[in-house]
Amino acid sequence: MSIKPIDQPLPGEQVVALSPESAAEAAVVWLARPNLFPGRALTAPTLQRRQRWQAGRLALRGQTLTAGIVHGLEVGHELLPPSGEGQPPGVRLTIGAGLGLAVSGEDVVLPQPVALDLRQLPVFAEPSVEVGLPGEEAPQPTLPPPPPDPIPPADGGGDDVPGDDGGALHARAFLRRRLGALFAAAPDAIARVGVLVLQPIEVDRLGEFDPTDPCELCPCGEPGDDTSFEDWRLADGARLAWYAWPREWRPLPADGPTLRNQLAWTIFDAEAGLAPGDVLPWEQLGVPVALIALDAQLRPLFVDHASVVRHGGHGRDPRLVVGETQMSAQWRCAPLWQARIEQMAEQIADAGDPPPPAAVLAQSLARLPPAGLLPTNALDLKVLPLNKATERLNSDFFPGSFELDAVPVPIEGLDLAVREAAALAPIDMAVPDRVRVLVPVPQAVYEPRLLYEEVIDSEFQATLDRFLLARARALGARQGLRAKLSELVRGHRPRRAGGAARAGCAGARSREPRPVGAAVGRRRPSRAAGGGPASARLRQRDLTNFGLGRSESVCVGLSRS
């Protein structure tokens, strides 16, 4: 290989190392593209190197995205009746169509749903578990190994590799026996907990040959030999494998109602402690799609997706976070926080609809995510609005040592509230803690203290009562004055002349009419007792007895009849 000097180097720029270091190493690594030119013979090894280079480039591009499931690949199961007398019931696994990305950057595509027998799954475990087992070993069809990964293998190699907890992961490989035959030969050979992994593989297959093709066959060889016309093709594929739980990596939790929850949080804690570049044991094999636990009859106790499935296809290093000593890219944080929330929701949904009582449901959950969804019967919301002085928010879901409070949150801001709390520490049901319940409400009715009954302070209430009493007395005095003024005005109203005056006094005797033409004398105007015109004025000082102040003086016109 030729080495050229650096043209116009920068100050201090120099060659630090070469990769690959020699021509011999360059001949075996995948990062080598054949130099094809017109007239060069295209041999089979050269074509294989070209295909290996192209696959490596695609895998390297896939490493720029987060590993996990992009869409689809949902796993379900169905119990089948026994095939014969004395036979255990069968289990059929179904995997929906979808797309996934492995940590190596290789993609796994299922264009259509597939159905598989759980007992016929290949097992990826320690080869030593088959040593000394009685019975004939079931042959397994040999498949060519997958193309070399751009990432060095962290598991499944020939040597033991250290785990993130200081232990060592034993070497693993595909066993000769399938899952059902292995448990039939040795029920305790491997753990009954495993991870379903879709492994990307390459297979050689023979293309379709048309026997009615009019073209003549190769004259060489025996008559009828069409070897030279065989259409061998290299195809990408995927196979579903059972990755046995590595007991040397993490011990299995004890059997009980909290087994599913404890297994999930064992994985979450291990993933949160991974160093940059490290992977979980089963991620190096392919794309994990489900975590399954089996009973003695090889029937699934549960099928948990969120504990091992991560959302893939996003930018792998969108941001940098400050570590203890340096800047590091933690692309696993956001998918891990999302998985913790989804795992709890999935386990509650699998409990049934309607959900069981809150106390029964809480027995299967040992740890909770810092933010998540609760069933409708987890809290007693009938006490709302809550009076903090005399009432308490009760729940059969949370232990009695927990302190609960509830606050309203607008529906439009619920995602933001969950996002802000997703990075907090998990909730341990055995340790006293404080939990805040977010009650979604429409934005139109949102108030910060919508769920609480406001309690008025005693001193404030006494002062308010005193002011209200003074105001009531003032209003009563004013109303009394108005009533007396009305009576006074009615009592001094002038009499009407003629029939109107006589009609107003029903008991008065009618006067005789004056003769026509009689002289009518003009009456002398009289004065009030205090002197003044006939229209006497009720002065301000005369109104003080009615409770009016100087600013509320009233002038009333009086007239004598």
pLDDT over 70 (residue 156): no
Is 170 among the domain residues?
Answer: yes
pLDDT for res 222 = 61
303 lies in some domain: yes
Statement: residue 218 has pLDDT above 70: no
pLDDT at 143 over 50: no
The answer to whether position 66 is within a domain reads yes
pLDDT-above-70 percentage for the chain = 73
What is the Cα–Cα distance from 496 to 531, expressed in whole angstroms?
Answer: 24
pLDDT in tens, 98-112: 999 999 899 999 999
pLDDT band at 385 (very low <50, low <70, confident <90, very high): confident
Question: Is there a domain that residue 185 lies in?
Answer: yes
Tens digit of each residue's pLDDT (9 = 90 or more) over 83-94: 777 777 789 999
In a domain, 543, yes or no: no
Determine the Cα–Cα distance for residues 191 and 281; give it in Å rounded to an integer. Answer: 15
Residue 518 has pLDDT above 60, yes or no: no
Q: Mention every residue, 6+ apart, whose C-beta is less than 8 A from residue 144.
A: 201, 202, 203, 204
Asked if residues 308 and 195 have their Cβ atoms less than 8 Å apart, the reply is: yes
Encode pLDDT of 20-39 as tens digits.
777 787 777 767 778 888 88
pLDDT digits (tens, 9 = 90+) for 293-349: 999 888 999 999 999 999 988 887 655 555 554 445 577 888 899 999 999 999 999
C-alpha 428/C-alpha 36 separation (Å) is 62
Is the CB of residue 235 less than 8 Å from the CB of residue 203? yes
Give pLDDT, residue 209: 62
Is the Cα dihedral 186, 190, 192, 196 positive or negative?
A: negative
**What is the domain range of residue 200?**
58-206+231-257+282-313
Q: How many domains does the chain have?
A: 1
Would you say 312 and 69 are in contact if contact means Cβ atoms under 8 Å apart? yes
Please give the Cα distance from 335 to 291 (Å, whole number).
17
Res 243: pLDDT: 95
**Does residue 214 lie within any of the structural domains?**
no
Distance CA 99, CA 83 (A): 33
Is the pLDDT at 397 greater than 80? The verdict is yes
Q: How far apart are CA 469 and CA 396, in angstroms?
A: 47
Indicate if the pLDDT at residue 519 is higher than 60: no
The reported pTM is 0.70
What's the average model confidence in pLDDT over 11-17? 85
345 within some domain: no
Mean pLDDT throughout 253-269?
92
Q: What is the mean pLDDT of residues 170-188?
A: 89
pLDDT, tens digit, for every residue of 444-486?
A: 888 888 888 777 888 999 999 999 999 999 999 999 999 988 9
Query: Is the pLDDT at 154 greater than 70, yes or no?
Result: no
By DSSP bridging, strand 98-101 and strand 68-72 are antiparallel
What is the residue whose two structure tokens read 């040959």? 209
- Whole-number mean pLDDT of the chain? 78
pLDDT for residue 208 is more than 70: no
Q: Domain for residue 187, yes or no?
A: yes
